[in-house]
Amino acid sequence: MTLSMAKEIDTPEIVFISGITEREVYRLREERLLPRRRRRVHTHAYRLDIWDSVLANFYFGLKDLLSKEARLAAMNEFVQQIEDDFTSVSVEDVTSRHLTFVVHVGQFKDITIDFGQRVAEVASRAAELERVNALVSSDDEFDREPVFKDTRVPVSTVAAFLAKGVSKEDVLARFPTLTPEMVAAAPVWLRTHPQKGRPRKFGEINPEWSLKTSESVKFVRP
């Protein structure tokens, strides 16, 4: 699987990939914190890409260690030095790049910035999200809910079971068409693809099942 670092992503995805909050994503846009890029690929003002996630992770991750001036200077230096790679490099080979820069910050001494670990972390989460997305059908639905590929099992159903404390093993026993990878993917997919409107309750998604709790979690038919 090859995933371009220039792939456009939506706000919930950038929150997951970069490890920042939704409010911080809005700040990126409102305060125009991202450096100018000659070859920015997004066609929509609210669409960012995986490289933007790297910059966001750096900017907010070091807010307690570096001044805003220093962080912005480092981000601009990063963009200037590797911008020619932005539209071609993939997740698979990005971590092999030399990503340590010496940045001159105004009247202060030069500082050394290492983007390597942050790029590796962001690229890893981007690849994880790509694997999760590949498990979900973009065409098939069951009762208006997206399902895992080659199954009739809604992603939200699996996520609801896990949220109620049901073990992955019990979910797999209940839905034999699922794989362990699908079960693990359910909460991630739901987090990065929030449902529109009022969240449906567990009983609405699975009306034939009721949840009773004591010392353990059991699903019983009414």
Q: Residues 29, 66: one domain? A: yes
**SS3 for 212?**
strand
Q: Residues 70, 148: one domain? A: no
Instruction: Answer whether residue 55 is part of any domain.
Output: yes
Q: Residues 126, 191: one domain? A: no
Q: Residues 124, 175: one domain? A: no
Domain boundary among 114, 130, 146: 130
Q: Residues 69, 145: one domain? A: no
Question: Would you state the pLDDT for residue 196?
Answer: 67
- Whole domain around residue 167: which residue ranges? 136-220
Question: Would you state the pLDDT for residue 145?
Answer: 86
Q: Residues 112, 180: one domain? A: no
The count of structural domains within the chain is 2
Question: Would you state the pLDDT for residue 41?
Answer: 55
Question: Would you state the pLDDT for residue 173?
Answer: 95
Instruction: Answer whether residue 214 is part of any domain.
Output: yes
**pTM confidence score:** 0.76
Q: Residues 121, 58: one domain? A: yes
Alpha-carbon span 210 to 204, nearest angstrom:
10
For residue 196, give every residue at least 6 positions away whose Cβ sits within 8 Å of its Cβ, in sequence order, or none.
none
Q: Residues 109, 155: one domain? A: no
Instruction: Answer whether residue 2 is part of any domain.
Output: no
CATH of residue 176's domain is 1.10.10.10
Q: Residues 96, 24: one domain? A: yes
Q: Residues 72, 23: one domain? A: yes
Alpha-carbon span 181 to 166, nearest angstrom:
16
Instruction: Answer whether residue 43 is part of any domain.
Output: yes
Q: How far is CA 75 from CA 59, 83, 84, 103, 116, in A?
A: 8, 11, 15, 9, 13
Question: Would you state the pLDDT for residue 128?
Answer: 92
Domain boundary among 97, 130, 163: 130
Determine the Cα angle at 122 with ends 119 and 123, to 5°: 80
Q: Are 202 and 190 in contact (CB under 8 A)?
A: no
Chain centroid offset of residue 190 CA: 11
Q: How many residues does the chain have?
A: 222
Question: Would you state the pLDDT for residue 18?
Answer: 94
**SS3 for 111?**
strand
Question: Would you state the pLDDT for residue 214?
Answer: 36
Domain boundary among 106, 130, 154: 130
Q: How far is CA 140 from CA 144, 161, 174, in A?
A: 9, 21, 21
Along the chain (222 residues), what's the average pLDDT of each consecutive run of 10 residues?
Answer: 74 93 93 80 65 92 89 87 69 67 71 83 90 86 82 92 94 95 96 69 50 43 44
Question: Would you state the pLDDT for residue 113?
Answer: 83
Q: Residues 13, 119: one domain? A: yes
Q: Are 25 and 59 in contact (CB under 8 A)?
A: no
